[in-house]
Amino acid sequence: MSETDLMQAASASFLARFEGLKSRLPGDPAVREAARERVQANGLPNRGLEAWKYTSLRPLAEISFAEPLSDASEIDPAHVPGFMALLPDFDLPRLVFLDGRFRADLSVLPELASVANFAVAPRLGPTREGPLDALNTMLAEDGAVINLDPGVDAGTLLLVNLAQDTAGRPVAFHPRHRIRLAAGARLELVEIALGEGVYLHNPVFEIELGDQARLTHLRVQNESARAFHLASIHAQLGSGSVYDSFTLALGSRLSRVEMDVRLAGSGAAAHLNAAQMLGGEQHGDFTTCVRHQAKSCASRQTVKNVLAGHSRGVFQGRIEVARGADKTDGYQMNQALLLSPDAEIDSKPELEIFADDVKCSHGATVGALDDDQIFYLESRGIDEKTARSILVRAFIAEALDHLTLAPDSEAVIRAYLDARIEAGFERIAA
Amino acid sequence: MLVINNLHAKIDNKPILTGLDLVVPTGEIHAIMGPNGAGKSTLSYVLSGRAGYEVTAGTATLDGQDLLALPPNERAALGLFLAFQYPVELPGVGNANFLRTALNAQLRARGEAELDALQFLKRARAEMKRLAMPDDMLKRNVNVGFSGGEKKRNEVLQMALLKPRLAILDETDSGLDIDALRIVADGVNAQRGPDFSALVITHYQRVLEYIVPDRVHVLASGRIIRSGGPELAFELERDGYAQVIANAA
């Protein structure tokens, strides 16, 4: 079957699910219907599309996904204690989802943020361009809705997505998260995705930052090795606001994160940093589009890839500078460390600049671990494996160093990240 | 005690060491001098276990333990330390973390108690004071942005913290001004004692005015061709390598 036909066929199973579910789905039926039409017309994205030339959803299309059980309580909770034990050792408020459904029994609500769950307060935003967004809009059943009032500092909040297949049947879920920070509000959102078995996790985030608001968005994608993680993050930034994000991609057989960030108010800043640690047959795609639409905005992207086995990393970074967005400062760097001759990195920067007086730069490097550095560490008594791990962590540190964390949770979060990165290296180097 | 017996080594199939014999008793400092291409750096790398060197014959033991059979980190745990001619920069690796990881790896390998962050800092600061190193060198990344002199001082700091039984100083004097040379030499001299020995590999006699060796060996074409007391360094300085090598032939 050709890829286009395959993607059409795959979308048919999602469309059939929609037909079965639609009477129970919350929100405006017209929005759902519009999304359905787009899914039906376009299918799942295929590699004929420029934005998808490095990432094929063929492995996803070959799986037929069951509908998650309609009653969340029917999901076997056997893995849950193990998952919860993998969370940072910290008494933080947390919103926990299992197979895409909110679990009040596992969650601890924050004091300062107003939190609703999507199923209760459904408000689908305007449908967006991306094919993954359409899939999500058509099928979203639940998600976190987080609102911060002006000037509130809500501290740190965990957003946890646990997943497991149901009795060996692959499941798909499409959480829709909305995060709105009013002017001057602050939040540190630590998003962690964990799972077992085969599943598709297809979240969409709609993020809106008011003037001078600040959102730190740390994403730890540690999905099951057989899972698919297809995330879309849309953020709109008001004047002087900061969206500081770092994505750590460790798990999944195939993952793609699309970040679409609109710098709409002057002096806004976006950091879209990431590290992907991939081994075996893993495929990880980090795709960004930063739209500079106001004066004096800054965007920073440092993306590090550590690739072992037959893995493949993709970075596509697009920077658009609109007419009049003067004093734009855009920076983009994609670096890859290849630990195996069979690993591959694809890097595609795109700059589209319609303003004068703009500073925009991009770069890419590819290399291997340095034998001289390994020997230097070994000669001091450090074994070779640890030496490699130290150098890999040092390589990633540069992207991580930019992340600003709240002082009271910083030590625990950084220790958690270090441990995940160390474990990630152990896994891909094995 | 370091005992090297009839050591032959090749790199890229080219013989570099061609039957090298050398004994450095514990408690002594020996100098190895020789012209470019004599095999000085090869000797230090073969002893410390760098990949790419093929030992085709001979033995090398430290305190009776076969060095050549061990990976580099286990040689280090036995007490072998190589001060690099060109210390390597490690961007993203903090100096304090690096030093503590190395020290604890060696302590662990020897079955001794590891140091916590506080114990380590106390010890490191004391050694740094002796070496006239500013405190911020612990916070910086390993050797990144260090001047030539700072890099060499960082090597000596590592030596002081790791307390090796045998230190190999591979042209540690190269690129140092007199003040830095004095500091480095003081650092080495401070280690002198019945349990410490050193092999000072150098091109020039100058460093041996500051680190006075018990013995001086001349390395040429992969072998020790002559050995003597400290006065041999002055003879080399006066007559040149070519003359001394010709006389030895």
What are the tens digits of pLDDT across the range A340-395? 999 999 999 999 999 999 999 999 999 999 999 999 999 999 999 999 999 999 99
Q: Which residues in chain A have Cβ-Cβ distances shorter than 8 Å to B162?
A: 380-381
- Give the residue from B75, B88, B155 with the most A CB atoms within 10 Å of its CB, the best one to mutate: B88
Q: Which residues in chain A have Cβ-Cβ distances shorter than 8 Å to B91?
A: 394, 398
pLDDT score, position A126: 62
Distance between CA atoms of residues A110 and A94, nearest Å = 7
* Residue A88 reports pLDDT greater than 90: no
> By mean pLDDT, which of A103-112, A366-375, A414-423 is the weakest?
A103-112
Asked if residues A417 and A323 have their Cβ atoms less than 8 Å apart, the reply is no
Distance between CA atoms of residues B226 and B218, nearest Å = 5
Q: Which residues in chain B have Cβ-Cβ distances shorter than 8 Å to A378?
A: 49, 71-73, 76
Per domain, the residue ranges of chain B are 2-90+165-248
| CA distances for B211 relative to A66, A303, B188, angstroms | 77, 48, 7
Cα B82 from chain centroid (whole Å): 4
List the single residue in A with minimal CA-CA distance to B52.
A371
Q: Do B105 and A379 touch (CB under 8 A)?
A: no
Query: Under an 8 Å CB criterion, which residues of A touch B?
Result: 370-373, 375-384, 386-387, 390-391, 393-395, 397-398
ipTM comes to 0.96
| CA distances for A59 relative to A56, B33, B139, angstroms | 8, 64, 47
Asked if residues A304 and A333 have their Cβ atoms less than 8 Å apart, the reply is no
Q: Do A381 and B106 touch (CB under 8 A)?
A: yes
Shortest CA gap B54–chain A (Å): 16
A426 vs A402 pLDDT, higher one: A426
What share of chain B has pLDDT > 90, as a percent? Answer: 78
Asked if residues A97 and A103 have their Cβ atoms less than 8 Å apart, the reply is yes
List the single residue in B with minimal CA-CA distance to A371.
B51
The three-state (H, E, C) secondary structure of chain A, written as one string: CCHHHHHHHHHHHHHHHHHHHHHHCCCCHHHHHHHHHHHHHHCCCCCCCHHHCCCCCHHHHCCCCECCCCCHHHCCHHHHHHHHHCCCCCCCCEEEEECCEECHHHCECCCCCEEEECCCCCCCCCCCCCHHHHHHHHHCCCCEEEEECCCCEEEEEEEEEEEECECCECEEECCEEEEEECCCCEEEEEEEEEEECCEEECCEEEEEECCCCEEEEEEEEECCCCCEEEEEEEEEECCCCEEEEEEEECCCCEEEEEEEEEECCCCCEEEEEEEEEECCCCEEEEEEEEEECCCCCEEEEEEEEEECCCCEEEEEEEEEECCCCCCCEEEEEEEEEECCCCCEEEEEEEEEECCCCCEEEEEEEEECCCHHHHHHHHCCCCCHHHHHHHHHHHHHHHHHHCCCCCHHHHHHHHHHHHHHHHHHHHHHHC
Mean pLDDT computed over every residue of chain B: 93
Mean pLDDT computed over every residue of chain A: 91
pLDDT in tens, A295-326: 999 999 999 999 999 999 999 999 999 999 99
Work out the average pLDDT over A187-193: 96
pLDDT score, position A71: 55
DSSP letter string, B20-36: EEEEE-TT-EEEEE--T
* Residue A75 reports pLDDT greater than 70: no
* Residue A79 reports pLDDT greater than 80: no
Q: Do B77 and A381 touch (CB under 8 A)?
A: yes
Distance between CA atoms of residues A198 and B201, nearest Å = 60
Shortest CA gap B73–chain A (Å): 4
Work out the average pLDDT over A134-142: 92
* Residue B180 reports pLDDT greater than 90: no
Q: Do A390 and B101 touch (CB under 8 A)?
A: yes
pLDDT in tens, A264-305: 999 999 999 999 999 999 999 999 999 999 999 999 999 999
List the single residue in A with minimal CA-CA distance to B99.
A380
Binning pLDDT at 50, 70 and 90, where does residue A76 land?
low
Distance between CA atoms of residues A145 and A150, nearest Å = 16
* Residue B12 reports pLDDT greater than 70: yes
The partner residue sitting opposite B71, judged by closest CB among A378, A395, A398, is A378
Per domain, the residue ranges of chain A are 47-429
Closest by Cα among A218, A251, A212, A223 to A233: A218
* CB pairs < 8 Å spanning A and B: 73
Q: Which residue has the tokens 């390597």?
A: B88
Query: Under an 8 Å CB criterion, which residues of B touch A?
Result: 48-51, 71-73, 76-77, 81-82, 84, 87-88, 90-93, 98, 101-103, 105-106, 109, 158, 162
Residues 6+ apart with CB under 8 A from A15: A36, A39, A40, A138
pLDDT score, position A70: 47
Q: Which residues in chain B have Cβ-Cβ distances shorter than 8 Å to A390?
A: 93, 98, 101
- CATH architecture, range B2-90+165-248: 3-Layer(aba) Sandwich (3.40)
Shortest CA gap B224–chain A (Å): 25
Q: Do B105 and A381 touch (CB under 8 A)?
A: yes
pLDDT in tens, B187-239: 899 999 999 999 999 988 889 999 999 999 999 999 999 999 999 999 998 99
Closest by Cα among A157, A173, A73, A178 to A107: A157
pLDDT score, position A2: 81
Sheet holding B53-62, edge to edge: B14-24, B2-11, B53-62, B65-66
pLDDT score, position B18: 96
Q: Do B51 and A375 touch (CB under 8 A)?
A: yes
CA atoms within 13 A on the CB side of A313: 30
Q: Which residues in chain A have Cβ-Cβ distances shorter than 8 Å to B87?
A: 376
pTM: 0.92
Shortest CA gap B102–chain A (Å): 6
Q: Read off the tokens for A17.
A: 């699910």
Radius of gyration of chain B (CA): 18
Work out the average pLDDT over A423-427: 95
- Give the residue from A380, A389, A393 with the most B CB atoms within 10 Å of its CB, the best one to mutate: A380
- CB neighbour class for A72 (10 Å; exposed up to 12, middle 13-18, buried from 19): middle
